[in-house]
Amino acid sequence: MKEVTVKELEALKSSGTDFQLIDVREPNEFEIAEIGGELIPMNSVPQNVDKFSKDKQVIVHCRSGKRSGDVISWLEANHGFENLYNLKGGILAWADEIDPSVQKY
């Protein structure tokens, strides 16, 4: 599985690169802390496959990287995606390395 670090994500955001950021956590988690991704909770991914771009880099994240990794594996196996990247360490790594104002939970 392809991954990006939080530092690589920060560079993509700063450079204005056209990519998609998808958050697969639950709505209550999104309310606690978010980093600008589109919320598509893990359990709703099968009904929302069409919301994942196939034309540009898509970075998928969750709290720590486990759920987003599971979502990517499922999408690659069942829908042939080749442009998905897991955010290594998830939003916890973002809070630790990039923005300490993002609340950890």
Q: Which has the closest alpha carbon to 65: 30, 33, 97, 94?
A: 94
Answer whether residue 102 is part of any domain: no
Q: How many whole angstroms separate alpha carbon 48 and alpha carbon 62?
A: 17
**How would you write the pLDDT of the chain (105 residues) with one tens digit per residue?**
999 999 999 999 999 999 999 999 999 999 999 999 999 999 999 999 999 999 999 999 999 999 999 999 999 999 999 999 999 999 999 999 999 999 999
Answer whether residue 47 is part of any domain: yes
Answer whether residue 22 is part of any domain: yes
Answer whether residue 45 is part of any domain: yes
What's the CATH number where 24 sits? 3.40.250.10
Answer whether residue 105 is part of any domain: no
Answer whether residue 31 is part of any domain: yes
User: Which is the catalytic residue, given 62, 71, 72, 93?
Assistant: 62
- How many structural domains does the chain have? 1
- The model carries a pTM of 0.97
Which residue range(s) make up the domain with 58? 3-97
62 is catalytic: yes
Spatial CB neighbours of 28, under 8 Å, sequence gap ≥ 6: none
Q: How many whole angstroms separate alpha carbon 72 and alpha carbon 90?
A: 14
Answer whether residue 55 is part of any domain: yes
| pLDDT digits 0-9 by tens, 61-83 | 999 999 999 999 999 999 999 99
